[in-house]
Chain A
Amino acid sequence: MALHINLYHEIQRARKEEQYDPLKISLLCIGFVGLCLAGLYFGKLSQTMGVRDQYTAQKAEISTLEPQAAAAKLKEAELTASIQLADKLSKRIEDRFYWAPVMEQIGLTIPANVQITKLTGDISVTDASRRIGIALDGIAAGEQPRKVAEDIRLALIDNLGEKYKNVTATFRSLDDSTEQVRFEGKEMPTALFSINITFSATAVPLAPRTVQR
């Protein structure tokens, strides 16, 4: 084994110490940590700036859109009012009461020996439903005119009850008349009657038809 003498050891050790100087290493570490923190700071700063820019842009957009939104709100109110009005009108139209079928029923119900002298009708609206009121005045002729009037009342209840709910027909007055009328070549006594008919405006749903093949 050779004799290992190295007279350069002091310089080598000094260089190594210089290379691995704790102060230098710690300064490098601190510098590195500082750089990292600065990087983090600038990263966060740019992030914040980005968010702030976005906020400013959105704020500017909001300031431009706000008058438009107010105008749109006004327009919306106007349109809503119009729509409500239109709805009301259409509802009213859709819910209107058709008198023609009632008149047709009454016409079909009244026999030839009875004469209608007055007919008035009106609609009373309550919270739940609408009720139709008809006041019918007339002269009934026959051997027994009061019975004829009663038959008409019952017939009205039956016929109108087919189509409408809660049909009531009551005499307001039923008086014998002194007048005689000729019907089918015979003189017959008469009776004056007034019937109040009420029923719900809602029609009775029709029974499903059976289709025969």
Chain B
Amino acid sequence: MAKPLTSVIGIDIGRYALKSVLMQKKGANRYVVTNFATHIVDDTAEQTSSELGRNIKALLKHMGGSAKACAVAVSHPDAILRLIEQPETPTHILRDALKLNSTMLLNQDCKSYVLDCELIPSTVPIDPTNTRQKQYLVAGIPRTHVVEIGTAFYEGGAPPVASLQLAPVAVFNAFEFANEEIFNNNAFFLLDIGHNGATILLGAKRELVLIRNVEFGGRALIDTLCNLSGEDQPTVLRALEQEDEVMVENARMALMGLAREIGSSIGFFEGRREEPIRQVWVSGGFAKSKTVLRVLSEELRMPCMAWNATERCEINVPSSKRNQFSEEALDMSVACGAATEALQA
């Protein structure tokens, strides 16, 4: 049995930026964030392993500090994230079954994918007539991408990779870590707004009920706002920050599609479970924008709140970076989720 990690670097490999947090476990329930960094990447250029290695090297250099391992969370357009129902099976056997018989289990040929699965703890039986049926979360990304990431970390001189996670699962884990009481006792709706797309996660009392990817991210919102206003990106962002009426209306129009998707997801959830969704927990780059949160709240007619994944952690970052961290903490949920999962393993 491997020795449990006491310090780990959580890294979020996004399309627009690489984010990292250095988290240490000081006791049974005491976590400290000592370093963090964000490194913007050129999203127009193709991400080769050497390019990614260079970016990781720059990110770790900017962050400072060191740890025994890295926990990586990645989002990929071809990533698979499914909930499947199976008779109770040990996960290592199911993993092999998925690898050998993915066409049957996932209705998709996944020979070129690396797959992993995990039993989802369920409070409500899926099929009341068959209590042996369990729900499993299956995640996968193309093997070439896994190899690229491994090579990039090796070339970037980073500590060894302890785990490779999908960004939505990392967000789910981060929410469990940050808001344990809500996670354990209530239904919750998580919205992670990324650069290219948003992820919707619906859960209730520890159980992951629904995962959806929506093709609407920060880039689409900015592009729409720029097109509607005819202004450039900095002007649009400044106007949005100043709650310019025209820009707010433009944002409302831009976010309409996303709000509709959220509404339909909530409807789906509430139709299946007798638990209401009372608020939406927003993370990602645009969780920092109060205007976006207000517009979404108005559109959904329920509060949309940003949540901070490092809420339970002691913040021990250098004093010069403390203000920057409080601004960027809302965007660190994926990196924090990856790190906490590795520390809790």
Contacts and interface: CB of A to CB of B under 8 A. Distances in A.
Same assembly = yes
Interface of A: 1-11
Contacts of B243: none
Nearest to B177: A2
Contacts of B172: 3
Contact of B120 (A3, A6, A11): A3
B318 to A, nearest CB: 28
Interface stretch (B16-24, B33-41, B157-165, B263-271): B157-165
Interface string B117-143: 110110000000000000001011101
Contacts of A8: 72, 114, 146, 149-150, 161-164
A7 B150 contact: no
Contacts of B340: 2
B49 interface: no
B67 to A, nearest CB: 16
Contact of A7 (B137, B166, B176): B166
Given A2-B176, A2-B341, A7 B121 contact: no
B223 interface: no
B184 to A, nearest CB: 11
Nearest to A6: B163
Contacts of B51: none
B173 to A, nearest CB: 4
Contacts, number: 64
B146 A11 contact: yes
B13 interface: no
Given A3-B172, A5-B118, A5-B166, A11 B150 contact: yes
Q: How large is the interface on B (under 10, 10 to 19, 20 to 34, 35 or more residues)?
A: 35 or more
5 contacts: A5-B137, A5-B139, A7-B114, A7-B146, A7-B165
Interface string B84-126: 0000000000010000000000000000001111101100000
Contacts of B150: 8, 11
A1 B137 CA distance: 14
A4 B114 CA distance: 15
B182 interface: no
Contacts of B147: 11
B208 interface: yes
Interface in B155-199: 161-166, 169, 172-173, 176-177
B1 interface: no
A1 B177 CA distance: 9
A164 B113 CA distance: 134
A7 B164 contact: yes
Contacts of A5: 116-118, 137, 139, 163, 165-166, 169
A2 B173 contact: yes
B146 A10 contact: yes
The 4 closest A-B pairs by CB, nearest first: A8-B164, A2-B173, A7-B164, A6-B163
B227 interface: no
A11 B149 CA distance: 11
Contacts of B162: 8
A115 to B, nearest CB: 137
Nearest to B145: A7
B242 interface: no
- Residue of A4, A7, A8, A9 with highest tally of chain B CB at under 10 A: A7
A109 B152 CA distance: 141
Contact of A4 (B149, B208, B345): B345
B146 A3 contact: no
Nearest to A11: B150
B344 interface: yes
A11 B340 CA distance: 22
Contacts of B163: 4-6, 8
Contacts of A1: 121, 344
Contact of B116 (A2, A9, A11): A9
A131 B37 CA distance: 134
B76 to A, nearest CB: 10
B116 A3 contact: no
Contacts of A4: 118, 163, 341, 345
- Residue of B143, B165, B345 with highest tally of chain A CB at under 10 A: B165
Contact of A3 (B114, B140, B173): B173
